[in-house]
Structure formats: C-alpha cells, structure tokens
Amino acid sequence: MDQIAILAQGLKKSYGRVQALRGVNLEVQKGEIFGFLGPNGAGKTTTIRCMLDQIRPNGGVLRVLGLDPQAEPVAVRRRVGYLPGELHIDGNFTVEGALRFFNFLRQGKADWHFIRQLAERIDLDLKTPVKNLSKGNKQKIGVILALMHRPELLLLDEPTFGLDPLIQQEVHKMILEARAAGATVFLSSHILSEVESTTDRVGIIRRGVVVEVAKTSTLVNRSLRRVKIRFRQAVDASSLLALPGVALLSKGDGTSLSLQVEGEMDALIKALAAYPVVDFETERPSLEEVFLTYYQRDMDGGEA
Amino acid sequence: MRTIFWYSLGRMRSQILGWGLCLGLLGGYLVSFYDTLVQQEAQLLEMVKAYPPEVMAFFGDMNKLFTPGGYLNTEFFSYMPIVLGIYAVLAGSGLLASDEENGTLDLLLAHPVSRAEIYFGRLGAFLVALVGIHALAWLGFWLFVPGTTMDIMPGELALPFLSLLAEMILFGALALLFSMLLPSRSMAAMVSGLLLVTSYFISSLAKIDENLRQVAKVSPLNYYQGGEALEGMKWSWFLGLLVVALGFVLLAWQFFERRDIRVVGEGSFRLPIFSRKKGYSHAGTRD
C-alpha cells in the first residue's frame, strides 16, 4: 500500500441517470508517470475530480497517497498539484497576484525563486493582468500552480491544452523533472503523442470503466504494424498470407506487398528468408492508432 | 479562511462603495429637504388625502410624514427593501454559485482549503459588505441631519438601518440557500427576488386588508420597521430575522458541503418542468 499513490476499486459516480464512472479499478505506483486515456466523456476528468473531493463518488474505494479524499480532502490537496483541462482564474488578478493568492492558500509553501524559474521557462510575464491573457497563457499559470509547491502527486488533466508546441515540450520536461524529483504523475490526455512520449504506463477508460492498463511500450508493441516489402522479381506471396496474424493490405505488380501484422514479427521474417527481398520496411503505429484500433474493436462488439 | 475572506471582500469593494455612496448621497439629499416639507405641511396633507389607500399602504403612515421617522420612512425606508434587496439577492445567490459557474471554484477547491473555510470566508465578506453599505448610507444621512430641525441622535438614526440590514441578511441568506438547491445562480436569484417582491406586496397590503394579515405573519418584510424604528426598535423582530437567516445559512452550508462542484460549461440537474426528458438529467460532464 505504501508504494501505491492512487488506488481506485469499483469507483462509481453517477449524475442522475447518467453513470459517469461504472466501477473504475486503478492502481498507480509512486514515482511513475501514468497516462489516463480515453475519449471525451469517458470519465477521465470525473475520476480526477473525485480524487480532489470536488465531486463525491457514489460507491467504491478511492485512496490518494493513502488518504481517503472524502475524509481528508485538505490533507490530500496539500500534497497534490492539480492542473485542470480548462483553467479559469479571476481576471482581476495579475499573474503574480494569482500565484501569490494560491500560494497563500498553501501557507506560502512555494519558493518564489522556483516560481520565477518556471515562469521564465514557459515564457510567462508575471506582471500581466490575467484578463489580458490568451487561453494558452492562462494554461501556463495552471502549470506553475500545479508544480510550484513541488507536490508528491501531480494530477494533470490535459496539461498542454492550448499551449504551442515549444511550450508543450518544456512542460513535458517539467513533468519529467518532477518525476525525477520523486513525484508521481497522473496525466489525463487525449493527445496520444504526449502520453506516448512521457508516460510509463497507460490506463484506457471507456464509458466509465478502465478497460486496459499496460506499459505504454507494451501497448504500442502489442498492436498492429504495417509492413512494406519489395522483391527483386514477382513472387507468389500466398505462403506469407497464410501466416497467423498476417493480412494483405495491398498488392502491387507482384514485386511489392503491403501487409498488416498483428503480434510478433518472428514468423514473417523467417518466412521471408525464402524470398528475394530487396527492401523491408515496418511502420510502428502511434499510440493514437493503437487507441483507435482498440476502440474500433470495442465498437465492433468485441470486449476489450 | 482569512485569505478567502480578504480576497472576497476585495472583490466586493466596488459594490460597497457604489451602493453605499449612492444611498448615502440620496439620504443627504432627502434629509436636506425635510424642513422645506414641514413648512408646507398643510398643503401636502390635502394632497396626500387624495391618494388611494392602496398607494399609501406602500409608503407608511402619512399622518407621520412630518415627523423625522415618518418622513424618512416614506421617502427612503419604505421602498429600500426592494432597492437594496436586489443587491442582497444577486450577491447572495452569486456568493458561491457564480464562481462555480465560471469555473474558478474548481481551482480553489484543488488547494488545501476546506469547503467550510470557503463558505464562511465568502459569507463573512458578504456580511461585512452589507454592513459597509448600510454604514455609508447612514453616514450620508447623518452628515446632513445637523443642518435641519430633525432631532435625531446618531444611534437612533442607526435603528432603521439595523432593521433594513436584518432583512437584507435574511434575503441574502435565502438566495444563497436557493443557489445551493436550484440548478443555476440565475434561477436562485429569480426565485429569491420573486419572494422578496411578494413579501413586500403582502406586508404592505396587509395594512389595509385584514384578510392578508394572517399570511403576512410568514412574510419576512412584515417584521421590517423602517423609519418606525426611530420611535422604538422591536428587538425581538430584529433578532427573529437574524435567527431565521442563521437557519438559512446553516442549511446552505450543509448543502455546499455535500454538493458536487460543477465545472464551467457543465449544468447541474434540470428542473423537470424545464426539461424535455422526464426526470432529472445531467446536462453533460466535460469528461
């Protein structure tokens, strides 16, 4: 239990007749970056908001850093840094005023030298009134608010939403640095490249249920690959197509093939030894394709 | 809680100054006309007699128009529950619901601060704002009293303001309670405002219609004294209003402690009468 940062068992939440969470089971280890994936409306934000006691679950068990958020919400929030997907701050503040106000709520725990460093890295002017900021610049305030007190656990809901690519990269670095300093990161996103490049493990939530938890690399490797093969002369590829997990995508004039391979490549490579191969190219799918494949399979009726 | 209190009070400073100075200036203007009015007592009495009793019911006892208490009641305190009530209802209903609807409460509740601290910090600021508005209005009146024949001590002049303050606290607390129960801040403000106006009409018309007197007993404005407080404050009414307000405040707190905080763009439940579907439905979650 000491090594578990977040534990959810059968977590349920409904709004009237709408069931937002239908029994979420989740275990996030301390020190890892955990990606929480799912389409809009799957229950990502609802799960995070339960962790902060902003909404109250209807059933199940939830522990954050060993604490029950409903029983000890202030203690949980003291140790957590949260970045909402859409940040809303009183427009009458300046950036510095907003940071000072929220730092007051944390009993001044944040170090101003560190805050200025963070602001500089993401190019945020502390003197600007919040009402004059663009959506992306407001999101930068959220990044600093989440990180400034060096929390044990970061709950990031779409952390780079609205940020330009350079700043996104910097935020990813900050997240990795926080983990290197010992923090656990729970990152909800539907930007799959972000999840793929930063997370250790991924959980996929669909319609309020976690349907898959796996190492990010495993999830990517497990899935379909596209293989393009060019031969010196026209060949009969029927023996290749007979291999388990191999399907034909396209066939040229007999000297080239495009295949889809599910699972390990070993059998295909061994079979190709009998062919005059000129070129062999595999295309590793992005997590996005994995994700879509996963959902497509689910929509087609298979239980994932 | 202090951080929340001072932050909330800071946000209300323009409301305090705006309402307080406007009412204070209006008070000064009215007080300075008192002597002129007294000089024309005979003519004005003739004119007042021509008014229908239904109209007079809203402005207090016209026979006392030429006493300081009667004058201030007719010219200012008789309609002030509606005027200042608009502020109380809007501020009360928006005390937490506005921040919830614009999404700022979500971020606040991600920090180590309890719901009780937020609730009472905001409520404290609202009460101080109401006291500040009343104090500035009182000051406006008092600054002009020495230049007239009104024989009122500062403490006496404060009594009708205290009576008004108790009503405003009650309606503000009621609006706060409705904002915790109804789907939106605007609906809470509308319902509270409707009750305020209804209470005003019932309490006023009960003075000329005996049939309404029983109903008026449950109308908060029945216990509003206005300028009549200058002739003797009914402290039991004042305290009674505050006790009822306290009840609303405690109930609203309990509902706030238990509620799911909405995020911006997210509705709460819909009232069945406004919903196309039967029963309650959630207007949609972000995720």
CB A233 within 8 A of CB A255: yes
Find, in chain A, the residue whose alpha carbon is nearest to that of B267: A15
- DSSP labels, B24-41: HHHHHHHHHTHHHHHHTH
CB–CB contact B279 A17 (8 Å):
yes
Q: Which of A49, A53, A204 to mutate to test the interface with B (most CBs of B within 10 A)?
A: A49
- Burial class of residue B209 (count of CB atoms within 10 Å of its CB; 0-12, 13-18, 19+): middle
**Per-residue pLDDT reduced to its tens digit, B115-127:** 999 999 999 999 9
Which residues in chain A belong to E strands, given as ranges?
4-15, 18-29, 33-37, 59-64, 80-83, 153-157, 184-189, 201-206, 209-215, 224-231, 246-251, 256-262, 277-283
> Is the model more confident about A140 or about B274?
A140
Give the pLDDT score at A300: 55
- Cα(B66)–Cα(A272) distance, rounded to whole angstroms? 111
HSE toward the beta carbon, residue A85, CA cutoff 13 A: 19
Mean pLDDT of A211-231: 81
Q: Read off the amino acid at residue A32.
A: E
Find, in chain B, the residue whose alpha carbon is nearest to that of A154: B110
**Per-residue pLDDT reduced to its tens digit, B67-110:** 888 888 888 998 999 999 999 999 999 999 998 888 889 899 99
Give the pLDDT score at B70: 85
Q: Read off the amino acid at residue A135.
A: K
Give the pLDDT score at B281: 38
A89: chain B residues, CB-CB within 8 Å? 104, 107
Give the pLDDT score at A129: 92
Per-residue pLDDT at A171 exceeds 60: yes
CB–CB contact A45 B104 (8 Å):
no
State the smallest CA–CA distance between residue B90 and chain A in angstroms: 19
Q: Average pLDDT per run of 10 along chain B, which is 287 residues long?
A: 88 92 92 82 74 68 76 88 94 93 90 95 96 95 87 90 96 96 91 94 84 86 87 91 96 93 60 47 43
- Cα(A40)–Cα(B287) distance, rounded to whole angstroms? 5
User: Cα Rg for chain A, rounded, in angstroms?
Assistant: 23
Angle ∠(A73,A75,A77) on CA atoms, nearest 5: 65
- Collapsing DSSP states into helix, strand and coil, what is residue B2? helix
Q: Which of B107, B113, B266, B280 to mutate to test the interface with A (most CBs of A within 10 A)?
A: B107
For residue B110, give the nearest of A46, A77, A90 by CB distance.
A77
Give the pLDDT score at A72: 94
Give the pLDDT score at A30: 93
Q: Which of B2, B3, B102, B111 to mutate to test the interface with A (most CBs of A within 10 A)?
A: B111
**Per-residue pLDDT reduced to its tens digit, A74-126:** 999 999 999 988 888 988 899 999 999 999 999 888 889 999 999 999 999 99
Give the pLDDT score at A49: 92
- Collapsing DSSP states into helix, strand and coil, what is residue B131? helix
The secondary structure of residue B78, as a DSSP letter, is T
Contacts of A236 (CB under 8 A, 6+ apart): none
Confidence at A303, pLDDT banded by 50, 70, 90: very low
> In whole angstroms, how far apart are CA B111 and each of A146, B106, B261?
10, 9, 14
Residue B152: both structure tokens together = 């009122």
Closest Cα partner for A49 from A24, A66, A29? Answer: A24
**Per-residue pLDDT reduced to its tens digit, A233-291:** 888 888 888 888 888 888 878 888 888 887 778 888 999 998 999 999 887 666 666 66
Mean pLDDT of A13-21: 86
State the smallest CA–CA distance between residue B279 and chain A in angstroms: 9
Edge-to-edge strand order for the sheet containing A209-215? A80-83, A153-157, A184-189, A33-37, A201-206, A209-215
CB–CB contact B260 A56 (8 Å):
yes
- Cα(A255)–Cα(A265) distance, rounded to whole angstroms? 21
For residue A40, give the nearest of B112, B280, B287 by CB distance.
B287
HSE toward the beta carbon, residue B26, CA cutoff 13 A: 16
Find, in chain A, the residue whose alpha carbon is nearest to that of B261: A54
- Cα(A135)–Cα(A144) distance, rounded to whole angstroms? 15
ipTM of the complex: 0.79
**Count of beta carbons in the 10 Å neighbourhood of residue B78:** 19
Residue B238: both structure tokens together = 């004042």
Closest Cα partner for B270 from A158, A18, A253, A239? Answer: A18
For residue A46, give the nearest of B104, B109, B285 by CB distance.
B285
Give the pLDDT score at A290: 67
> In this prediction, what percent of chain A has a pLDDT beyond 90?
47
Give the pLDDT score at B71: 86
State the smallest CA–CA distance between residue A82 and chain B in angstroms: 6
